[in-house]
Amino acid sequence: MAEEKVVAQEAKAEAPANEAPKEERAPRGDRRPHGDRKGGRPDRKGGDRKERREPKDDMEERVVFINRVSKTVKGGRRMKFTALVVVGDHKGQYGFALAKAAEVPDAIKKASEAARKKLYSIHLVKGNTISHEIVGKYGACNVYLKPAPEGTGIIAGGPVRAILELAGVQNVCSKVYGSRAPINIIRATNQGLNNLKSYKTMKELRSKE
């Protein structure tokens, strides 16, 4: 028995010598990145892959209202979120949109992109105010807008303030009558701003009366 154990130990000791030497693996710190290997994928941090960058513009966006809505289907209720976003460049251009998605960030992104696709423009007079008084109407909502002297600021609240600030109006007075739904208020304000006429046109119209 003792001789058999000695023979077995000698065989084990000779076995590694007969085998081919294995290649030593480099430590983790010395390994090449994926982008440097031949036939490998490009490096994620740079390499051949182009970075996706969102187009930059001078538009500032503001979230006015977020609401959770549901749709009842055969399997139950499907919950989604709606976002009302207003964009503007503070120089007479503005836009707004309402979008819906399963998550709040997605709804805001969709509304922002839709608002940038359809922009409105208004002409501001001296003092960064509107040219004359006007009432914007949409459905059961009426928004009264009145020019104000320089230094007055924007006397408005909620959605009206958001759309006037981003449009570049700095001095104005407003009052909302009727429906208080944010989207209706913004649409009524937009209707009023789109119907504004220049000072020269209003002077001619008043002289004919």
DSSP string, 93-121: EEEEEEEEESSHHHHHHHHHHHHHHS-EE
Q: What's the pLDDT at 88? A: 94
- Cβ atoms within 10 Å, residue 67: 14
Q: Give alpha helix (H) positions in the chain.
A: 2-18, 104-117, 159-167, 182-194, 199-208
Segments making up each domain of the chain, as ranges: 60-202
Q: Which fold has domain 60-202?
A: Ribosomal Protein S5; domain 2 (3.30.230)
Question: What 3-state class would DSSP assign to 194?
Answer: helix
Q: Name residue 201's amino acid.
A: T
Phi first, then psi: what are they for 110, rounded to 5°? -65, -45
Q: What's the pLDDT at 51? A: 43
Q: What's the pLDDT at 76? A: 92
**Rounded to an integer, what distance in angstroms lies between the CA atom of residue 28 and that of residue 15?**
30
- Taking a C-beta distance cutoff of 8 angstroms, is the pair 89, 98 a contact? no
**Rounded to an integer, what distance in angstroms lies between the CA atom of residue 29 and that of residue 109?**
41
Q: pLDDT by residue for the chain (209 residues), tens digit each? A: 555 554 555 555 555 544 555 555 555 555 555 555 555 555 555 444 444 445 557 889 999 999 999 999 998 999 999 999 999 999 889 999 999 999 999 999 999 999 999 999 998 888 889 988 999 999 999 999 999 998 999 999 889 999 999 999 999 999 999 999 999 999 999 999 999 887 777 777 777 65
Name the one residue in this structure whose structure tokens are 């001296």. 126
Token pair in block for residue 157: 């609240």
Q: Which of 171, 173, 57 is nearest to 124 (CA)?
A: 171
Question: Half-sphere exposure (CA, 13 Å, Cβ side) for 142?
Answer: 5
Q: Is the dihedral of CA 9, 13, 18, 22 positive or negative?
A: positive
- Taking a C-beta distance cutoff of 8 angstroms, is the pair 190, 209 a contact? no
